[in-house]
Amino acid sequence: MANVLYDFDIAGWTGGQSYVFPYIGVGAGYAWTNYDSLHSYGTNFPFFYKSNDTDGNFAYQAIAGLAYPIPGVLGLSLTAEYRFFGVLDGAKYHGAVDTGFQRSFIETKAGNQFNHSILLGVRYAFNAAAPPPPAPAPVAAPAPAPARSYLVFFDWDRADLTDRARQIIREAAENSTRVQYTQIEVNGYTDTSGTPAYNQRLSVRRAQNVAAELVRDGVPRNAISIQGFGETHLLVPTGPGVREPQNRRVEIIIH
């Protein structure tokens, strides 16, 4: 018999875990029936029939069962199944009939043959895939890296630090210890009110005051570079002579 089996993956349908796997199958082939000293006796009419013959015909079967995978042995399962087996009619068998007065040879023809069976057994799948490894535990998202750029703002025509400015500088100094850096830039800027020369000097004073505060907060002086850009590189583009608060600033950049 050549059989084809199909396993049902219940776990794949439900999204859960399955401990048994139903399966169905069909088979086709050729079956032989052997008459080994088959005897028949007559009652109303005395006769004796005996046959020792073998013949066969096309056979088929239907299969339904359950497989239970054995834990720890990949591919090995216990099985319980039902099989319906049939052979088409047409097989012919030869025998002899003896009536006591005469002996003759005859041919008999078998009809359809049906068989029902329940089987318990084991089966082994040579190409069974190993179960997937468990999903890795979720990795906690890393803490956000400290900011590497800070803005300190100033009042108009002033270079002294406000309380809010000192708070921002302290935060920059503390975060500089949590990251690897090679240099900290302190760049000063002004708005467009005043002359360019005056604004250049004012931007440098602002940068120097911020750098001095960073040193007081623990940043090494040799790690700080100071530059003044005057009224260039405006944060908010304006025309000349405009008092724009966001342009009066010092930018701290941690590299």
Query: What is the rounded average pLDDT of the residues 27-55?
Result: 75
CATH superfamily of 149-254: OmpA-like domain (3.30.1330.60)
**Whole-angstrom Cα distance, residue 191 to residue 158?**
11
pLDDT band at 30 (very low <50, low <70, confident <90, very high): very high
pLDDT band at 11 (very low <50, low <70, confident <90, very high): low
Please state, for a pLDDT cut of 70, what percent of the chain lies above it. Answer: 84
pTM score of the predicted model:
0.45
DSSP string, the chain: -EEEEEE--HHHHHSS--S-EEEEEEEEEEEEEEEEEEEEE-SSS--EEEEEEEEEEEEEEEEEEEEEEPTTSTTEEEEEEEEEEEE-S--EEEEEEE-SS-EEEEEEE---EEEEEEEEEEEE-TTPPPPPPPPPPPPPPPPPPPPSEEEEE--TT--SPPHHHHHHHHHHHHHHTTS--S-EEEEE---SSS-HHHHHHHHHHHHHHHHHHHHHTT--GGGEEEEE-TT-S-SS---TT---GGGSEEEEEE-
pLDDT in tens, 108-162: 777 888 999 999 998 887 776 666 677 787 777 666 555 688 999 999 999 999 9
Does 14 score more than 60 pLDDT? no
pLDDT band at 182 (very low <50, low <70, confident <90, very high): confident
Instruction: Delimit the domains of the chain by residue range.
Output: 2-124, 149-254
